[in-house]
Structure 1
Amino acid sequence: MQVELDGLFKDNKTFDYDDYVYKDEVCPSSTVSGSLAIFIPLLYSVGFLWGLLGNGLVLTILWRKRPKLSVMDIFILNLSVTDSLLLLTLPLWAADAVKGWFMGTGLCKLAGAMFKINFYCGIFTLACMSVDCYLSIVRGVRMFSCKKRVVVYCSCLIILIICLLLSIPDWIYLRPIRASRDTAECYYPPNTCRLASRLSHIVCFVLPALVLLFCCSSVLLKLWHNSKCQQKKKGRSTAVIAALVLAFFICWTPYNITFIVDTAQPVDSISSAGADDCEGRQWRASKITAIFGLLHCIVNPVIYLCLSKEFRRRALTMIKFSACETDSNDISLWDSSEGNRNASVQEEQGSLQPMNDINQQ
């Protein structure tokens, strides 16, 4: 039998692979470049310094007023503590924006968990404040009172415990993935735990957000239809709560929208190897919108300084290192100056009379 081999070996040639250059698809780096590489770390640095001053003033003033903390004081203390903890992670995020994550798994878990804890604690605390304000002004009853401060402290403790439980997936699964030789980025592995954590995050944003919108709109409508005298007595503390809620939505809504959009992507495209690598390296919209969430921890002290005369007076007194002659723990930091003492005494008595009955009298 004769075999024809001309088809296989007639035109056979050797190829030199020494000069061959392998070209692979390269995903964008997780670090920023150009003007952003200077602007974002500078923004974090200024926010860090201002946050230390602002939250430090809030904590100091509330500490000096600790024998007679009101219900709103306790909730604002809870917000300031979690804002201060997130504030301490801003240098880590500034370094991540420039060089990527090179600080190890431990700090990666800490920074990511504090980011989520601040979000959960903020929205749950504001929901409690809004519900209490709604019940006292619209329904004429109080969910919390200064006669039972233990209930308020227990509520804040429960909020913190819930936030810690919701951040457990971050402590377990959050880790840096190598994007190149000297940069890394925190990400979740695309699995069932990732999806469950994202769904719980979305639920914990949507449901409290609906409660906040309902309570704030009801209170504002109630105050709008009442007399100017009643607006003067109740408008100051209500304005502080409304401003806190508005600032929270402005800072956190862009991040949560991109978070929901990213979660809604098909699982197959996320779980594929190439898409997973690119997702871990790109400077995505979620990273940009997360900047607003991180900088939210410096916004609340600005609201207190702008809307509270008593808080502004005490803050200026502390900055000047001068003694405050009229300091009194009975004076509320958040109500208007007129009828301030009467408001605190009324809060001590427990429940408030419905505003419709007050107008009739």
Structure 2
Amino acid sequence: SNINDDYFGSTDMDYSEDGWAFPCSLWEVRKFSSLFVPIAYALICIFGLLGNILVVITFAFYKKAKSMTDVYLLNMAIADILFVLTLPFWAVNHARGTWYFSNVLCKLIKGIYAVNFNCGMLLLTCISLDRYVAIVQATKSFRLRSKTLAHSKVICLVVWVASIIISSSTFIFSQKYNIQGVDVCEPKYHNVLEPVKWKLLMLVLQLLFGFFIPLMFMIFCYMFIVKTLVQAQNSKRHKAIRVIIAVVLVFLVCQTPHNMVLLVTAATMGSMGRSCSSEKLIAYTKNVTEVLAFLHCCLNPVLYAFIGQKFRNYFLKIMKDLWCVRRKPQSAGFSCSRMYSEGAVSKQTSETVDNENASSFTM
């Protein structure tokens, strides 16, 4: 097949339709991406950094992670911070229409996105399982979750290692290479036997482990959680999982379109009947759905701030402390000391009354 699977790697591609070969220009798609994508990535990077750094600061200085859900949310924030730091490179790539950086950065940045994507899905799966044990298996949860919390670092390390293993093909095959005078940063399978089958295999693994298997776990866990809450009619428990459900739903809304594009790509890969118009549509859709998929990294902190009462309280504390630091020592005086003293007392009181089965961001 002479079909080029890279959407933005070349200006023209040859397609066969009704027995006639003709050039298919993606110049319009590249012009659209050079304007839309850099602006979108810049906004996501700014808000993603601000929101997720706020989450890390909260856990580091204001609230100790006391439950497994807290530990998972902290790791998710760290993964999102690492991810948004790669977006400026992709913004430059789309704005210039070529990969301007080195081959090492190509592999690293492609790999970081893949690790973040898989790690995020695995962490959401872990959160769902943790909520399932805490609510559906409430009688057994104290003993079981106390053991898992003691090994929380090991569990998170396993999640990160598993994400790296699942994403290893991205590190191996992604590289900088030239297509018709344009440098691109894309997976390249030309050095292996049957490259179409290899690329199809990688797409299937990504869809399987990065979307469908975690989705099945989430559906299973939350079906039983909702059933238990309806029977118990406990408003406190309902608040305890409200943020988590919202986080999962937002993540799925953001990631499902992108995975559907990957599914269509896998289904049509190697087909000789792909028309120029359909390829343009896929290219446009790929741009928009990728931006939507990247958007999830800055939505989680928004959910915490608007839904979680405790997070709002910690957010106000951070803002007051930052204002106190900015003020001159002579003008701050006693009020700053009193503010820190009150914050320490409030922190101790808050941590005393925290329920072990609830996340600090869900009450």
Distance 1:331 1:173, change over 3 A: same
Are 2:34 and 2:96, in contact at CA under 8 Å, matched by a contact in 1?
Answer: no
CA offset at residue 222 of structure 1? 2.0
2:353 is aligned to: 341
Are 2:72 and 1:75 equivalent residues in the alignment? yes
CA offset at residue 146 of structure 1? 4.5
For 1:328, what is the secondary structure of its paired residue?
Answer: helix
1:215 is aligned to: 221
Are 1:30 and 1:283, in contact at CA under 8 Å, matched by a contact in 2?
Answer: no
CA offset at residue 68 of structure 1? 5.3
Cα distance in structure 1, aligned partners of 2:306 and 2:65: 23
For structure 2, the residue ranges without an aligned partner over 5 or more in a row are: 1-21, 190-194, 325-338, 359-363
1:51 is aligned to: 48
Cα distance in structure 2, aligned partners of 1:317 and 1:266: 53
1:197 is aligned to: 202
Of Structure 1 and Structure 2, the greater helix share is in 2
CA offset at residue 316 of structure 1? 2.2
1:118-157 equivalences under 5 Å are 118-140=116-138, 141-142=140-141, 145-146=145-146, 149-157=149-157
For structure 1, the residue ranges without an aligned partner over 5 or more in a row are: 1-23, 333-339, 348-361
Are 1:68 and 1:330, in contact at CA under 8 Å, matched by a contact in 2?
Answer: no
Distance 1:222 1:183, change over 3 A: same
Are 2:259 and 1:260 equivalent residues in the alignment? no
For 1:318, what is the secondary structure of its paired residue?
Answer: helix
1:1-361 equivalences under 5 Å are 25=23, 27-29=25-27, 32-33=30-31, 37-65=34-62, 69-100=66-97, 101-140=99-138, 141-142=140-141, 145-146=145-146, 149-189=149-189, 190-204=195-209, 205-227=211-233, 230-231=234-235, 233-267=236-270, 269=272, 283-320=283-320, 321=322, 322=324, 323=339, 325=342, 326-328=345-347, 331=350, 341=353, 343-344=355-356
Cα distance in structure 2, aligned partners of 1:258 and 1:139: 37
Aligned residues: 308
Letter in 2 for 1:207: I
Distance 1:255 1:195, change over 3 A: same
Letter in 1 for 2:109: A
Cα distance in structure 2, aligned partners of 1:331 and 1:180: 62
Cα distance in structure 1, aligned partners of 2:183 and 2:78: 31
Cα distance in structure 1, aligned partners of 2:172 and 2:350: 45
**Cα RMSD, aligned residues only:** 3.0
Cα distance in structure 1, aligned partners of 2:286 and 2:241: 32
Are 1:132 and 1:144, in contact at CA under 8 Å, matched by a contact in 2?
Answer: no
Are 1:51 and 1:87, in contact at CA under 8 Å, matched by a contact in 2?
Answer: yes
Question: TM-score with structure 2 length normalisation?
Answer: 0.75
Are 2:65 and 2:71, in contact at CA under 8 Å, matched by a contact in 1?
Answer: no
Cα distance in structure 2, aligned partners of 1:224 and 1:283: 44
Distance 1:39 1:266, change over 3 A: closer
The farther-off stretch of 117-126 and 282-291 is 282-291
CA offset at residue 201 of structure 1? 1.1
Cα distance in structure 1, aligned partners of 2:29 and 2:100: 11
Distance 1:105 1:269, change over 3 A: farther
Cα distance in structure 2, aligned partners of 1:68 and 1:114: 25
CA offset at residue 283 of structure 1? 3.3
Cα distance in structure 2, aligned partners of 1:137 and 1:149: 16
Letter in 1 for 2:248: V
For 2:186, what is the secondary structure of its paired residue?
Answer: strand
For 1:343, what is the secondary structure of its paired residue?
Answer: coil
Identical amino acids, percent of aligned pairs: 25
Of Structure 1 and Structure 2, the greater strand share is in 2
CA offset at residue 188 of structure 1? 3.9
Cα distance in structure 2, aligned partners of 1:110 and 1:30: 29
Distance 1:53 1:260, change over 3 A: same
CA offset at residue 279 of structure 1? 7.5
Residue deviations 1:20-42 (CA, integer Å, cap 9, x gap): xxxx82531496325x5333322
Are 1:29 and 1:283, in contact at CA under 8 Å, matched by a contact in 2?
Answer: no
2:331 is aligned to: none
For 1:25, what is the secondary structure of its paired residue?
Answer: strand
Letter in 1 for 2:347: S
Letter in 2 for 1:55: N
